[in-house]
Amino acid sequence: ETGVTQSPTHLIKTRGQQVTLRCSSQSGHNTVSWYQQALGQGPQFIFQYYREEENGRGNFPPRFSGLQFPNYSSELNVNALELDDSALYLCASSFQVNNEQFFGPGTRLTVL
Amino acid sequence: SQKIEQNSEALNIQEGKTATLTCNYTNYSPAYLQWYRQDPGRGPVFLLLIRENEKEKRKERLKVTFDTTLKQSLFHITASQPADSATYLCALDIRTGNQFYFGTGTSLTVIP
Q: Kindly write down the DSSP assignment for every residue of B8-72, as one continuous string.
A: SS-EEEETTSPEEEEEEEES--EEEEEEEEE-TTS--EEEEEEETT-SEEEETTEEEEEETTTTE
Q: What is the pLDDT of residues B21-74, one digit of tens each?
A: 999 998 777 878 999 999 998 999 999 999 988 999 999 999 999 998 999 999
**DSSP readout, chain A?**
----EEE-SEEEE-TT--EEEEEEPPTT--EEEEEEE-TTS--EEEEEEETTEEEEE-S--TTEEEEE-TTS-EEEEE-S--GGG-EEEEEEEESSTTS--EE---EEEEE-
Return the residue of B nearest to A99 by Cα. B49
Task: Give the torsion through C-alpha atoms of A58, A33, A86, A23, to 10 deg.
Answer: -160
What share of chain B in percent tops pLDDT 70? 95
Q: Given a cut of 80, is residue A96 above it in pLDDT?
A: no
Q: Are B89 and A33 a contacting pair at CB < 8 A?
A: no
CA atoms of B80 and B78, how far apart (whole Å)? 5
3-state secondary structure of B84: helix
CA atoms of B3 and B26, how far apart (whole Å)? 6
Q: Given a cut of 90, is residue B107 above it in pLDDT?
A: yes
Q: Are B42 and A105 a contacting pair at CB < 8 A?
A: yes
- Establish if B29 touches chain A: CB-CB under 8 angstroms: no
- Establish if B89 touches chain A: CB-CB under 8 angstroms: yes
Query: Can the peptide bond before residue A105 be classed as cis, meaning omega within 30 degrees of 0?
Result: no
Q: Look at residue A27 in the predicted model and tell me its pLDDT.
A: 84
DSSP annotation of B78:
S
Q: Are A105 and B102 a contacting pair at CB < 8 A?
A: no
Return the residue of B nearest to A33 by Cα. B100
**Mean pLDDT, residues A43-68:** 93
CA atoms of A45 and B49, how far apart (whole Å)? 18
Looking only at the bridges linking them, the beta strands covering A74-78 and A64-68 are antiparallel
For residue A74, list its beta bridge partners: A23, A68
